[in-house]
A and B are shown apart, each in its own frame.
Chain A
Amino acid sequence: DTEVTQTPKHLVMGMTNKKSLKCEQHMGHRAMYWYKQKAKKPPELMFVYSYEKLSINESVPSRFSPECPNSSLLNLHLHALQPEDSALYLCASSQGIRGAEAFFGQGTRLTVV
């Protein structure tokens, strides 16, 4: 199984809502990532978990809260988002911990209204 599965595929939320994005991998990878991607831009790293511990937070606003319940799962909790947070949110995993040779999920297309 070489897949990274993300749910939901699409999400529309209001600025006062709380929602969560979910990601799952069964490749035994040691690192999992959240990326944000705006249209026509490269993926932008948000968070890195290595061995289930948060190792990198790229100065992401606190309205984004990551969680790694176990080595296969990664969540991103969203609260009080702004319209400019609308983007494609990608989860990825890799055996190494520096983002190389990562497998990406299909992403969640988030729209904040």
Chain B
Amino acid sequence: QQPVQSPQAVILREGEDAVINCSSSKALYSVHWYRQKHGEAPIFLMILLKGGEQKGHDKISASFNEKKQQSSLYLTASQLSYSGTYFCGTLPHAGNMLTFGGGTRLMVKP
């Protein structure tokens, strides 16, 4: 079952912060975050494996609450280059393949 992302779209000014949420109805083994710019391939940003784990990548960080089956992506002091569509991908504990959420379109304006 597809994880649910919110919000569906965000418009920011350069330097502002944003949070993108991803929630699943299944018990999760890991959460993955990707960014896709228009007309380009999705780029893998980070994987979160353990409940409570937090990771960072430049000014982009993420957390994973295993109990709530939720993950959040934090974009701090956004830059123009952060624009794109962010997808979370969730992997359940057993069996199935990675499933992508519906995506969050982020636009950063000067």
Contacts from A to B (Cβ < 8 Å): 4, 40-43, 45, 48, 56, 90, 98-107
Contacts and interface: CB of A to CB of B under 8 A. Distances in A.
Given A42-B102, A99-B98, A102-B98, 16 more contacts: A40-B103, A41-B102, A41-B103, A43-B100, A45-B97, A56-B97, A98-B91, A100-B30, A100-B47, A100-B89, A100-B98, A101-B32, A101-B44, A104-B42, A104-B43, A106-B40
Contact of B42 (A48, A56, A90, A100): A90
Interface of B: 2, 30, 32, 40-44, 47, 85, 87, 89, 91, 96-98, 100-103, 105
A40 to B, nearest CB: 7
Nearest to A9: B39
Contact of A90 (B41, B47, B85, B103): B41
